[in-house]
């Protein structure tokens, strides 16, 4: 007759161990956040480069070419300072030499081609335009932010948003994008006073929340006692949640920090602060860890402890011998 313990040790057929799958998923969990962050920044940079940087470079290129344009159809007076092209055009020799000695793609053998290449090489190299562009871009954003924070700028922006809200399709897209940008870039000064437990969403079910302050006066008057505004975070993303107002007498202050509460929410209740753990649970885990040791591990631990105790005895004997008179 088979032993009943063997039946309990056997695992169901559907619960196969898949160490390779778990390792792959764990690797994805570690690698995806930095990879997606890099991809997001690259996408944002390519977007700025295609729609902002390159148009600005083209305008600057056109302006510089027209400013330094020095092309003659006939031999100029100072011919030594000019070079004749195959197109019978005369251009400054420094433009010709600079373009000729620089590596690059095939050149259009006209004055326009030489001047276009010369401006890109001499005045608009990428190692100089990108830092300058970023500095100007940040400066313009800072000035725009200061202007929109003022009275006239705020009024103009409110008028612009009211016009956008009247366009049927664009207003839906604009509202969704604005919610995302407001969440990412708007400074939020919410400070959590303490961590409390509330019976929510019903009696007997406890949820952890962060006290953000005292709630509205009308609610306090209706409840006839102090009330609190509590942010109820959601697992496993505590950055999202909802706000409730509860009586102060119906809350329990928890002896944990905000960081410990966030760890508890993110781990879905797995990571419990040490001061909030049952002593029986801690003792049970230690006992289970000791019981799970193999005989070889237990013998090695016994030998190491015996060796350390022997060294301590020898040290004590030496100390006594040194203290005893000769």
Residue range 194-240, pLDDT digits in tens: 899 999 888 889 999 999 888 888 898 888 999 999 988 888 777 77
Identify any residues that bridge with 49 across adjacent strands, giving them in sequence order. none
Decide if pLDDT at 293 tops 60: no
Measured CA to CA, the distance from residue 137 to residue 8 in angstroms comes to 68
In this predicted model, which residue has the larger pLDDT, 102 or 67? 67
**What pLDDT was estimated at residue 326?**
46
Smallest CA-to-CA distance from 201 within 163, 173, 230, 170 is with 230
- Axis-axis angle for helices 151-164, 126-149 (nearest 10): 100
Which phi-psi region, left, alpha or beta, contains residue 88 (left: φ > 0; alpha: ψ -120 to 50)?
left
Percent residues over pLDDT 70 in the chain: 75
Smallest CA-to-CA distance from 82 within 92, 73, 72, 74 is with 92
Q: In terms of pTM, does the model score above 0.75?
A: no
Measured CA to CA, the distance from residue 251 to residue 214 in angstroms comes to 13
Decide if pLDDT at 20 tops 70: yes
Mean pLDDT of 148-171: 84
Average pLDDT, rounded, for the chain:
79
In this predicted model, which residue has the larger pLDDT, 15 or 205? 205
**What pLDDT was estimated at residue 88?**
86
Mean pLDDT of 248-268: 88
Decide if pLDDT at 291 tops 70: no
**What pLDDT was estimated at residue 42?**
92
């Amino acid at each position: 007759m088979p032993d009943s313990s063997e039946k309990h040790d056997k695992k169901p057929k559907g619960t196969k161990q898949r160490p390779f799958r778990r390792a792959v998923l764990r690797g994805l969990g570690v690698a995806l956040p930095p990879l997606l962050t890099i991809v997001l920044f690259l996408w944002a940079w390519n977007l700025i480069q295609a729609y902002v940087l390159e148009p600005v470079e083209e305008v600057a290129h056109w302006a510089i070419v027209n400013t330094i344009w020095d092309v003659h159809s006939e031999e100029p007076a100072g011919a030594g300072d000019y070079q004749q092209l195959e197109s019978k055009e005369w251009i400054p020799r420094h433009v010709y030499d600079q373009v000729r000695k620089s590596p690059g793609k095939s050149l259009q053998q006209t004055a326009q081609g030489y001047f276009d290449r010369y401006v890109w090489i001499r005045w608009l190299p990428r190692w100089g335009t990108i830092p300058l562009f970023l500095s100007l871009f940040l400066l313009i954003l800072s000035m725009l932010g200061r202007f929109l924070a003022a009275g006239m700028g705020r009024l103009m922006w409110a008028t612009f948003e009211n016009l956008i809200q009247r366009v049927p399709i664009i207003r839906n897209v604009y509202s969704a994008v604005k919610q995302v940008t407001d969440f990412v870039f708007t400074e939020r000064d919410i400070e959590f006073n303490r961590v409390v437990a509330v019976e929510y969403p019903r009696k007997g079910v406890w949820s952890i929340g962060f006290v953000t302050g005292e709630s509205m006066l009308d609610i306090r008057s209706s409840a006839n006692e102090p009330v609190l505004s509590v942010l109820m975070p959601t697992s496993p993303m505590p950055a999202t949640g909802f706000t409730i107002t509860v009586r102060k007498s119906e809350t329990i202050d928890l002896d944990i920090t905000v960081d410990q509460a966030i760890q508890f929410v993110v781990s879905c209740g797995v990571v419990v602060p040490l001061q909030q753990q049952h002593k029986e649970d801690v003792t049970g885990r230690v006992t289970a860890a000791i019981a799970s040791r193999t005989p070889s591990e237990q013998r090695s631990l016994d030998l190491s402890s015996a060796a350390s105790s022997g060294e301590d005895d020898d040290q004590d004997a030496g100390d006594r011998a040194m203290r005893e008179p000769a």
